[in-house]
A = this chain, B = another copy of it.
């Protein structure tokens, strides 16, 4: 060890921290800020980190890191798409970074994937700074609409086999995505075998949010259940999606053969799919009713 020379003090590490519920923070070692913009909806930021590649943050919440985004995107996309016997038309609400669309388009049966993102700035920043995640948005099977997903599902005459609600937390522009009117509209735009999957929050910190969302889904859909994944970037690691459908069951109706065409996955497999619907005891007690 040598003493630091005067005037040459080593720079202290800088961190980009997400403070969550005022009690826990997750910080990534910052290399440099690449982009900071403000849209009418929110603050959008892209940073380069020392160990996690690039991060996209919205209003200070980490949305994706290049290092582990595969977990979230594989689990939100392949769970419904591997249960559905032949998904052709898919709608993604939110998800402007493009990672969900990228995973959806791995399925050869998909003819078109429509992304409805309220904030064009998220799409623009992702296209420019996160090309490995956003690249699928430019493909011939992708359609990108910059508009409010809530009003889109209210007004559209189109029908979809799978709807994926890839949103932030239930605050700001995403609030209505956690309401009952939205899910009645989702049911209307779903084809007969339709499935809807939604980001649902943290089982440790927001069990109430997950419970509320299930309480909204269960009167509208005959099948509604949470499932789990764990990643590096969301506070506490463990996080939940909800699965709801007009009839297809998430585990019993999974035909293992359907996922065989998927190549290059890092997280998803049919066994991981089934295991994700197994809930820890405290969730089982709080959320009740299973029908996997």
How many A residues touch the partner, as a band?
Answer: 35 or more
Contact for A51 among B23, B26, B27, B50, CB less than 8 A: B23
Is the pair A23, B17 in contact by a Cβ cutoff of 8 Å? Answer: no
Q: Which residues of B contact A282 (CB under 8 A)?
A: 266-267
Indicate if A271 sits at the interface (CB-CB under 8 A): yes
The CA-CA distance from A22 to B67 in the complex, in Å, is 15
Contacts of A24 in B (CB 8 A): 26-29, 51-52, 232
Residues of chain B within 8 A of A271, CB atoms compared: 278
Contacts of A209 in B (CB 8 A): none
Q: Hey, which chain B residues are within 8 Å of A281, CB to CB?
A: 265-269, 272
Nearest-CB residue, chain B, relative to A267: B280
A236 at interface by CB-CB < 8 Å: yes
**Complex CA–CA separation, A71 to B23 (angstroms):** 19
Interface string of A137-165 (1 = CB under 8 A from B): 00000000000000000000000000000
Interchain CB contact under 8 A, B280 and A278: no
Residues 192-240 (chain A) with a chain B CB within 8 angstroms:
204, 230-232, 236-238
Beta-carbon nearest neighbor of A68 in chain B: B204
> Which residues of B lie under 8 Å from residue A15 when comparing CB positions?
25
Whether a CB of chain B sits under 8 angstroms from the CB of A284 is: yes
Min CB distance A216 to B, Å, is: 26
Give the distance to chain B from A202, nearest Cβ to Cβ, in Å.
9
A21 within 8 A of B: yes
CB distance from A47 to the nearest CB of B (A): 13
Of B19, B25, B269, B275, the contact of A275 (CB 8 Å cutoff): B275
Bound Cα distance A272, B280 (Å): 6
Which residues does chain B contribute within 8 Å of A100, judged by CB atoms? none
A167 at interface by CB-CB < 8 Å: no
Chain B: minimal CB distance from A274 (Å): 8
A52 to B205, CA, bound (A): 11
Please give the residue numbers on chain A whose beta carbons come within 8 Å of chain B beta carbons, in ascending order: 13, 15, 17, 19, 21-29, 49-52, 67-68, 71, 204, 230-232, 236-238, 265-269, 271-272, 274-275, 278-282, 284
| Interface pairs A-B: 10 shortest CB-CB | A237-B237, A23-B51, A275-B275, A275-B278, A25-B27, A230-B230, A266-B282, A267-B280, A230-B238, A23-B29
Other CB < 8 Å A-B pairs besides A23-B49, A24-B28, 7 of them? A25-B29, A26-B26, A27-B27, A231-B237, A266-B280, A266-B282, A267-B282
